[in-house]
């Protein structure tokens, strides 16, 4: 059985999810809980065995950018407020503040580095899920990888159009139901440098994205969301589109998700990878830094 089929089967087995109820008198009665794990009785032993044995033939590819005070972050022009960069504040490092241990506090924006956009991030999705409410089963999903890195190299303002996606589907099959559209532009090669990554001049940032028409069309498709290599899911120039920021507006408004600052997409096949995207369950959060892994059959 294909890995994708396995992932989707497990996702179905996981719904609903349970944890053991701690209340006195209710014993081990399972109760639904969005942050829990699959109830063992819902996962058949032979399913677990075959999945484990299949993982021996799977490459795990890290799509996550390293998170440090050098990680590029979004810069909005005045009068808009900006997010904080990621940073560490040392608590102790094997010294009088803690002789045997090293640890830090972290400061970070929800939208720093490789991160997950929840629907509530945008005004069109304000009644939708916050990041803690994204169902766990949706954090494991198949992906289609659309490579437009040559187009983006020729034009940093390149916009993906409906016809591009239709031509891609003609060659590679339909976008996966309940899966990610991962949009490769080669922009991850610039992620070591904030200036190159944002690529701004006097007219604002110039980074590839998705056209207004295509964003609206994708929002009507049964995909889980869109993942990109740039600082946000929208093009650098999307502030002056009509409507502005069409990916955020249409996709988050449709209850779909965003993934940003991905890398290593060139290591994935056009179809067949399984993505594990694991944001922190920040209660009320609009997004979260996220570890994104791809499982690819050898």
Kindly list the catalytic residues.
121
Q: How many CB atoms lie within 10 A of CB 31?
A: 13
Q: How far is the CB of 117 from Mn ion (least distance, A)?
A: 4
Q: Measure the CA–CA gap between 181 and 193, rounded to whole angstroms.
A: 26
Residues 59 and 293: their CA atoms lie apart, in Å, by 10
Which residue is listed with tokens 């972050």? 73
Residue with the two structure tokens 């719904």: 15
Is residue 248 near Mn ion by the rule CB under 5 A? Answer: no
Indicate whether 229 belongs to the interface with Mn ion (CB under 5 A). no
Q: What is the dihedral of CA 289, 262, 120, 216, to 10 degrees?
A: 180
Query: Which residue lies nearer to Mn ion by CB, 112 or 216?
Result: 112
Annotate 127-182 with DSSP letters as a single string. Answer: TS--GGGS-GGGGEEEEEEEE-HHHHHH-TT-EE-HHHHHHHHHHH-PPPTT-EEE
Q: For residue 151, which of 90, 211, 193 has the smallest C-alpha distance?
A: 211
Q: Minimum distance from CB of 68 to Mn ion (Å)?
A: 18
Nearer to Mn ion, 236 or 272 (CB): 236
Helix (H, G, I), strand (E, B) or coil at 201: strand
Smallest distance from Mn ion to CB 158, Å:
20
User: How many angstroms from the chain centroid is the CA of residue 104?
Assistant: 25
Q: Of 21-29, 82-90, 104-112, 154-162, which segment contacts Mn ion by CB under 5 A?
A: 104-112
Least separation in angstroms between CB 35 and Mn ion: 22
Q: Which residue is nearest to Mn ion (CB)?
A: 111
Tell the smallest beta-carbon distance from residue 143 to Mn ion (Å): 19
Identity of the residue, 6 or 64, whose beta carbon is nearer to Mn ion in the bound complex = 64
Asked if 234 touches Mn ion (CB under 5 A), the answer is no
Q: Which of 61, 116, 112 is nearest to 266 (CA)?
A: 61
Contact string (CB under 5 A) for Mn ion, positions 105-134, x = contact:
------x-----x-----------------
Closest CB to Mn ion among residues 117, 188: 117
Q: Backbone phi, then psi, for 47, in 5-degree steps?
A: -65, -45
Taking the least distance from each CB to Mn ion, the nearer of 111 and 256 is 111
Q: Which residues bind Mn ion (CB under 5 A)?
A: 111, 117
């Amino acid at each position: 059985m294909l890995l994708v089929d396995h992932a989707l089967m497990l996702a179905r087995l996981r719904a609903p999810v349970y944890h053991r109820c701690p209340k006195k008198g209710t014993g081990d009665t399972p109760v639904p809980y969005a942050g829990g794990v699959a109830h063992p009785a819902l996962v058949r032993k032979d399913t677990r065995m075959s999945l484990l044995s299949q993982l021996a033939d799977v490459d795990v590819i890290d799509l996550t950018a390293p998170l440090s005070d050098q990680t590029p972050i979004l810069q909005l022009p005045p009068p808009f407020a900006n997010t904080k960069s990621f940073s560490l504040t040392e608590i102790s490092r094997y010294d009088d503040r803690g002789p045997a241990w090293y640890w830090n506090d972290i400061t970070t924006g929800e939208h720093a580095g490789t991160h997950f956009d929840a629907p509530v991030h945008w005004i069109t999705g304000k009644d939708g899920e916050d990041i803690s409410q994204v169902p766990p089963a949706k954090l494991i999903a198949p992906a289609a990888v659309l490579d437009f890195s040559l187009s983006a190299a020729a034009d940093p303002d390149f916009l993906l159009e409906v016809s591009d996606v239709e031509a891609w589907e003609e060659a590679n099959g339909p976008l996966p139901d309940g899966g990610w559209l991962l949009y490769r532009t080669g922009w991850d090669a610039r992620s070591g440098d904030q200036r190159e990554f944002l690529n701004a001049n006097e007219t604002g940032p110039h980074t590839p994205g998705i056209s207004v028409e295509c964003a609206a069309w994708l929002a009507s498709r049964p995909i889980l969301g869109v993942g990109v290599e740039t600082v946000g899911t929208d093009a650098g120039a999307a502030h002056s589109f009509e409507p502005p920021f069409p990916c955020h507006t249409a996709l988050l408004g449709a209850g779909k998700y965003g993934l940003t600052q991905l890398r290593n997409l060139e290591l994935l096949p056009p179809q067949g990878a399984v993505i594990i995207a694991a944001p922190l369950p920040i209660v009320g959060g609009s997004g979260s830094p996220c570890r994104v892994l791809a499982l690819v059959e050898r």
